[in-house]
Amino acid sequence: MPVVVVGGGAAGLHAAIRAAETGTPVVLVSRKPLHESSSYWAQGGLAAALSADDSPERHAADTLAAGRGLCRLEAVEILVQGSPAAVEWLVRNGVDAASRTAGKEPPSHADNETTIDELKKRVATVVAYLDTFNENDFDGADDRLVSLPRWEGKSMTATNYLVQHAMPNFFFHLTTTYAILRHNGVDVGKRDYLGTIHFRQ
């Protein structure tokens, strides 16, 4: 039986992706096109209690204050406990995607970072690893097969894995992270999301 997800915003898309990753058929129902959802227009990011002087309890208090007491406590608890893992997922996904597309075994990480400085070191480690790849590493991607345990024996070419699975998953989590940050009052804007833009003179 398929899982029916009602709503095409960030929460609905996340639920649909997670269900699909288990091999379960998914039907996503949205009253508007996905690019017209409230999540799409929010243009926001991710708040996470990571620094030594922060805590999930303080994060929860800030969230409840911003919601003027109307937030569901269960939802707030899930948010404050799960947001650090979302940051780690973004980093890990970049490593896994490049490795699998090139036919290499991705390095493992303990996922035990608890501070901003530790996350920055983790990001720097991942960037250094990605810098070891060159164009030749991806030769044969159109013919190389990728299979994940949750796909129950199914596979796809490395190119399709990168374009249809890895990159959409990465940008989904990145955009959702940005949206939650903006929603919770973090001073980030569109240029923080876009990064450096290389104009031609």
Quote the number of domains for the chain: 2
Top-confidence residue, 91 or 139: 139
Report how far residue 182's alpha carbon sits from residue 15's, in angstroms, rounded to the nearest whole number: 21
pTM of the model: 0.45
In this structure, the number of other CB atoms found within 10 A of the CB of residue 63 comes to 20
CA distances from 28 to 102, 127, 168, 181 (A): 32, 35, 16, 26
Domain that holds residue 5: 1-42
How far apart are the C-alpha atoms of 99 and 97, rounded to whole Å?
A: 6
Give a yes or no: residue 201 inside a domain: no
Instruction: Looking at the structure, tell me whether residues 58 and 96 fall in a common domain.
Output: yes
Amino acid at 152: E
Give domain status of residue 199, yes or no.
no
Question: Mind listing the pLDDT tens digit for each residue in 104-159?
Answer: 777 676 777 777 778 778 888 878 888 888 888 889 889 888 887 777 788 889 88
